[in-house]
Amino acid sequence: MKLLFVADPLDTFKTTKDTSFSMMREAAARGHALAACEPKDIHWQRGAAVTARAVDLTLTGDASDWVRTSDPRALALREVDAVLMRKDPPFDSEYFYATHLLEQAEREGARVFNSPRALRDHPEKLAILEFPDLIGPTLVTRDAGDIRAFHAEHRDIILKPLDGMGGMGIFRVREDGLNLGSITETLNKFGAQTVMVQRFLPEIAQGDKRILVIGGEPVPYSLARIPQGSEVRGNLAAGGKGVAQPLSPRDREIAETLGPVLAARGLLLVGLDVIGDCLTEINVTSPTGFQEITQQAGYDVAKRYVDALEAALAD
């Protein structure tokens, strides 16, 4: 098979822990050919197919190395066996436009994972609203008065932007309400932008658990991202410590409830974020954690993913 990875610049990959690289390594070990491009390299012109300026990749055999084996060349997306959309958030206008180009490629015969339409339909913060029984107290609003009322009710809250990633822009406001007004203004831009507010979950001390769901079925281990020091965020990008651990019964219940629903919508790989017993996010753009779980728990997540990808392409 020929696989095209649509991702961030290759020079930015931290191959010792990057999930996309672990996918590449497993695919290459099975003899699949690899190519890569960035979303900016994809274009369409009337009378032609959606095309990417892509480079071919060959892994050197080193566990964390590759070489580019071609200069950028035009590659019609319908000519590869699978297009893997692995661009990191934020889900901004350019990401949105890229999903439309990828959906056009699907109409021309390309196979894209995750589905471009499903990517658009499941913004990572807001997708949880469909499953209110699985989440904690949550508010989505632009209005500062709504936020003040939510804080008055719950006393200890988390505020975050809808387009953030890696823990960026997350604030905790405790019972004293210190700086609530300033934080609200920073996030909602004086009513111009929508924010999410959630009751603080003290179980974060045991970790913000990333549960991977592949082909509708959960990986049996989560990656608990545990805040360090005085930090409230468990995100690895914010200094959290990642600890692989078996799924709890509640983790498995959440994953088995959502897994088949999301898989049926074209989401081959999903990362569910769970704190305590509550679902907090549904990550669909470029879920991570493969290498950490594999290294710590001995469960080969990349093998499981490529198995599921090959099965999907065989349908």
Residue 231 or residue 75, greater confidence = 75
For the chain, what percent of residues have pLDDT higher than 70?
95
Checking if the pLDDT of 294 tops 80, the result is: yes
What's the predicted TM-score (pTM) here?
A: 0.93
| Close Cβ partners of 156 (under 8 Å, ≥ 6 residues apart) | 172, 173, 174, 175, 199, 200
Residue 161: is its pLDDT beyond 60? yes
What does the pLDDT read at residue 87? 96
Active-site annotation, residues: 125, 160, 210, 225, 233, 273, 281, 283
Q: Is the pLDDT of residue 70 over 70?
A: yes
**Tokens coding 99:** 């999903």
Is 85:114 a contact under the CB 8 Å cutoff? yes
Q: In the prediction, which pLDDT does 283 show?
A: 96
pLDDT score for 3: 98
19-29 and 301-314 helices, crossing angle to 10°: 60
What percent of the chain has a predicted confidence (pLDDT) above 90?
85
Tell me the average pLDDT across 276-283: 96
Q: Name which of 90, 31, 261 is nearest 270 in CA terms.
A: 261
Q: Give the tens place of pLDDT for each residue, 162-203.
A: 987 767 789 999 999 999 999 999 999 999 999 999 999 999
User: Cα separation of 115 and 29, whole Å?
Assistant: 25
The mean of the pLDDT values for the chain is 94
pLDDT at residue 238 greater than cutoff 70? no
Q: How far is CA 194 from CA 131, 159, 172, 184, in A?
A: 20, 11, 17, 10
**Nearest 5°: phi and psi at 76?**
-70, 130
Domains in the chain, ordered, with CATH?
A: 2-114 (3.40.50.20), 137-200 (3.30.1490.20), 203-314 (3.30.470.20)
The pLDDT of residue 233 is 61
Judged by average pLDDT, the poorest of 54-68, 95-109, 245-259 is 54-68
Q: pLDDT at residue 34 above 70?
A: yes
